[in-house]
Structure 1
Amino acid sequence: MSIIDTSPESANPLLSLIDLGHRARAAAGLDELAFLLVNDTRLLVPYRQSVLWFEQGGVRTLSGVLQPEENAPYAQWLSRVCRELSRSEILSSRRVGPADLSPEVAAEWSEWFPAEALWIPIAVSAEHPGSCPGGLLLAGEIHFGDDSLILLGEWLDSWRHAWLARVKPSGWSFSLMGEKGAGRSSQGKWWQRRSSRIGLGILLLLMFPVRLTVLAPGELVPANPAVIRAPMDGVIGQFHVQPNETVKAGQILFSFDEAPMGSRLQVARQTLETAEVEYRQLAQMAVSDAKSKGQLAGLIGKIGEKRAEAEFLGSQFERSKVLAPQDGVVIFDDPSEWIGRPVQTGERVMRIAHPNEVEIEAWLSIGDAIPLDDGAVVSLYLAASPFSAVSGQLRYISHEAVPRPDGSYAYRARARLGDTAAGPRIGLKGTAKFHGDWAPLGYWVLRRPLASIRQFLAI
């Protein structure tokens, strides 16, 4: 309800102007403001039709209509009329008619409008980025006098102030960007602005050269170990050394269960002796018996077969005791897990390594396989001593990725240690850091995200 009497009996238009301004400031939103402009402006000036139009969006509101239909012929014709009127260089309110329009648009004037109308432009606000040009078009049967133009101008200024206070400009519009750029240019040279200095500082920081580094799980492994494998199929019977024990060359390491091999060797030897006794008997009988002489050749072959079998079993029995081929430290699991366990020929049982011959072994994931030169610096941060790194030089990286126990694929890398190789113990694990070539800090930070995006796009 209006706070001032604005009934038709009220003859003071200034009271109506004050009441309209109050209602515009108290409006809840843009739709209520637009409805107020096209319908209640008749409190100041009588008219028959009214339309609010903006360059962005076209016809916003029509008088007497809750929601204008954009595809209606009347709305489309109004859009063409307002667009042609807004192109005029005259920025003040003026009376318009068919003569102010193109012949195509003016031909339908008499069908929709009376002879004269009033066009009130709504200009863009330099102080409010995101506002767009538009206008209010009024059409009536009476002539719009100069007094009416003054009242409408004052009312439109109040209404426009309330409208812009509720308009939320788009943060990405070209007009807003242009106005921001113009505002910044008025603040002085670009290098004198704080935002420009901060941006330039960040850019220089991203261009700062750093070492391209990657991390990978690593551990200390023997450099040139002697791998002790099972020389034959059998069951391990006894270990003569303990894990991490220092051994000498020729010292017995472990032995197989000798009972099965010993019994087989004894049987083979007994069979060989029986065949030799039989041969001697036939040789005596062959002196007088021609038939026995013919059996000697077959028996000689049988003796050779039994002798070869006995010799093979004898060599196997001797190999059942495995000796150390060199000095060093034996590396293997708990002996109780091996005793009584059947093994196959060639199966690895233990390793013998020199305690001072240690290398770094690491597994580079496929995403971290950066270019690395031979001799590149590799630092291993052991889990047991995270504050001191073991340094080494890259010796080689495998060309093919191999599967890991966790199901991933990685490249095996080996790095020889420096002078501090005698300190760390074999088997210690940690994180290996590979140092590559120099690269900008921005590339170092964005390398993995860019690689993921590149693989995702696959273009």
Structure 2
Amino acid sequence: MNAVADSPLLVLLELGHRARAAEDVEELAFLLVNDTHLLWPYRQAALWFDGSGVRALSGVVQPERNVPYVQWLDRVFRHLCRASLPAGPCGAQDLPADLADEWQDWLPAHALWLPLPARADCPEFPPGGLLLAGEEACDEQTRVLLGEWLATWSHAWRARFKSPVFSLHLLRQRLAKWRDGQNKREWWKRRHLQLALGVFLLLFFPVRLTVLAQGELVPARPAMIRAPLDGVIGKFAVSPNEKVKSGQLLFSFDEAPITTRLEVARQTLATAETEYRQFAQMALVDGKSKEQLAGLLGKIGEKRSELEFLSSQFQRSQVTAPEDGIVIFDDPSEWIGRPVQTGERVMKLAKPDDVEIEAWVPIADAIPLAEGSPVSLYLAASPFSSVSGRLRYLNHDATPRPDGSYAYRARATLAKNTENRIGLKGTAKLSGDWVPLVYWLVRRPLAVIRQYLAV
């Protein structure tokens, strides 16, 4: 240690090592006011920061804020900071009269003032200073060493605090530096004006006003296969999504009730015809029997009409395909044994190449869409390619959806045939008119805000 004490530079290196090895800021503050004595033999030292007051005193572990000495030091430090006194010797002559009168009561005649400027990148480093007071004046060489030691200590102090990634003060400081550098150029070369002009032009760049909606590939003009009579479906002759030919059997009703009624009608007709023949023979000898023949003929006609009707019903219980296509319906097991009424839809018959896009536009996204507007459907089964089309129509009235929401139904004709099957779902993008980019950005926020404003 004696070799270190003989060389001020080695002392400076040793103090820097101690500052880097300090555990916390309290140890750093204690180190500054006590171990700095190795560079200059002062009698008293005090460390002060704006906002927190006297932070450390030489020879004291924790300063007491309410004692007169500490309160006097706090006022002295405030005056020195406000006066922006540079680093160097100071004394009672640098203080106002009310503070200078007490100097000899608290401090020796010679003192050295070392300010600590605030750091913008470290909020925990406000303006402050270090005051060293001794019996002898500090020479110029020692003041240089003390300044270097204070710079090393300040760096170690800031390292104990994590610099904020973002703060308003840092932002204002960087903007001010950037603005000052730009103001030195001609106005048309200033970067902030160029950026402002670029943003302004970009906001008025024309873009397509588009909306996204749930979409699906559906048959364009399907043939609706409905129940031709009241009854119970007996069996299906086809499976869902099966290709069928014209005249091919699709499904049939339970024939037992119809067959029973048809057999009863035949027996009733045969009985009526037998009765008529009997009365016709009796009419040859009995005049009264001749009078009943007209009523029996009417009864026979009624029964024959009923038999013909039931025969046609029996034939219609076998439902066939009116044309070639693909049958689209639910699980057959849900239909078998289920009673249906006349006109109830059972299935759809669609042509494989007769496909179009169906989309449901939400009420909040009902932008103006003209006939022929571009429509693209991005299927969930093939997200990297789209099915393109042109808008055929958009409903004027919103229609309730199965999920309880309301939306506008839109249909679009495909631009070309697609290999994707009917029923695939995805997201449809409907494109409207060209609008400025700024309108595209603020349309939805303004619509939401406008719903809550009555002006």
Partner Cα distance (1:196, 1:68) in 2 = 54
Whether 2:115 is the aligned partner of 1:122: answer: yes
Q: How does 1:14-53 map to 2 (within 5 A)?
A: 15=7, 17-26=8-17, 27-28=19-20, 29=22, 31-43=26-38, 44-48=40-44, 50-53=45-48
Partner letter of residue 180 of structure 1?
Answer: R
How far apart are residue 378 of structure 1 and its match? 0.5
Whether 2:153 is the aligned partner of 1:163: answer: yes
CA contact (8 A) 2:374 2:388 kept: no
How far apart are residue 87 of structure 1 and its match? 0.8
Partner Cα distance (1:439, 1:429) in 2 = 32
Over 3 Å counting, the alpha-carbon distance change for 1:170 and 1:413 in structure 2 is same
Aligned to 2:252: 255
CA contact (8 A) 1:54 1:60 kept: yes
Partner Cα distance (1:322, 1:341) in 2 = 16
Q: How does 1:46-195 map to 2 (within 5 A)?
A: 46-48=42-44, 50-55=45-50, 57-68=52-63, 78-97=73-92, 100-101=95-96, 113-114=106-107, 118=111, 120-124=113-117, 132-139=126-133, 142=135, 145=136, 147-148=137-138, 150=140, 153-166=143-156, 167=158, 170=164, 172=166, 176-177=170-171, 179-181=173-175, 183-184=177-178, 185-186=180-181, 188-189=184-185
Aligned to 1:243: 242
Aligned to 2:325: 329
Partner letter of residue 244 of structure 1?
Answer: K
CA contact (8 A) 2:226 2:345 kept: yes
**Aligned counterpart for 2:374 among listed residues 373, 377, 382:** 377
- Provide structure 1 residue ranges, at least 5 long, that are not aligned to the other structure: 7-14, 285-302
Over 3 Å counting, the alpha-carbon distance change for 1:335 and 1:57 in structure 2 is closer
How far apart are residue 361 of structure 1 and its match? 1.5
Aligned to 2:295: none
Partner Cα distance (2:206, 2:238) in 1 = 57
Percent of aligned positions with the same letter in both sequences?
Answer: 38
Over 3 Å counting, the alpha-carbon distance change for 1:172 and 1:61 in structure 2 is farther
CA contact (8 A) 1:268 1:309 kept: yes
Aligned to 2:4: 4
Summarize deviations over 1:406-431 as a string: whole Å, max 9, x none. xx96846432316646x667616364
Q: How does 1:280-319 map to 2 (within 5 A)?
A: 316-317=313-314, 319=316
Over 3 Å counting, the alpha-carbon distance change for 1:239 and 1:112 in structure 2 is farther
2:146 counterpart SS class = helix
Aligned to 1:320: 317
TM-score, with length taken from structure 2 = 0.66
Over 3 Å counting, the alpha-carbon distance change for 1:416 and 1:89 in structure 2 is closer
Partner letter of residue 257 of structure 2?
Answer: P
1:84 counterpart SS class = helix
TM-score, with length taken from structure 1 = 0.65
**Aligned counterpart for 2:338 among listed residues 328, 338, 342:** 342
Aligned to 1:417: 413
How far apart are residue 162 of structure 1 and its match? 0.7
Partner letter of residue 122 of structure 1?
Answer: P
Partner Cα distance (1:371, 1:441) in 2 = 16
Partner Cα distance (2:147, 2:269) in 1 = 127
Partner Cα distance (1:360, 1:269) in 2 = 52
Over 3 Å counting, the alpha-carbon distance change for 1:31 and 1:152 in structure 2 is farther
**Aligned counterpart for 2:431 among listed residues 415, 430, 435:** 435
1:374 counterpart SS class = coil
- Provide structure 2 residue ranges, at least 5 long, that are not aligned to the other structure: 283-299
Partner letter of residue 124 of structure 1?
Answer: P
More deviation in 72-81 or 35-44? 72-81
CA contact (8 A) 1:220 1:361 kept: yes
Partner Cα distance (1:38, 1:54) in 2 = 14
Partner Cα distance (1:214, 1:41) in 2 = 71
Partner Cα distance (1:196, 1:384) in 2 = 46
How far apart are residue 164 of structure 1 and its match? 4.0
Over 3 Å counting, the alpha-carbon distance change for 1:110 and 1:273 in structure 2 is farther
Partner Cα distance (2:35, 2:331) in 1 = 100
Q: How does 1:380-419 map to 2 (within 5 A)?
A: 380=377, 389-396=387-394, 399-400=398-399, 402-403=401-402, 411=407, 413-417=409-413
Over 3 Å counting, the alpha-carbon distance change for 1:339 and 1:245 in structure 2 is same
How far apart are residue 351 of structure 1 and its match? 1.6
How far apart are residue 201 of structure 1 and its match? 6.3
Summarize deviations over 1:383-422 as a string: whole Å, max 9, x none. 5796574322152257256246xxx96846432316646x
Aligned to 2:289: none
Q: How does 1:201-216 map to 2 (within 5 A)?
A: 208-215=205-212
Alignment root-mean-square deviation, CA: 5.5
More deviation in 346-355 or 154-163? 346-355
CA contact (8 A) 1:377 1:394 kept: no
Over 3 Å counting, the alpha-carbon distance change for 1:216 and 1:334 in structure 2 is closer
How far apart are residue 149 of structure 1 and its match? 5.8
Over 3 Å counting, the alpha-carbon distance change for 1:266 and 1:171 in structure 2 is closer
How far apart are residue 135 of structure 1 and its match? 1.2
Aligned to 2:288: none
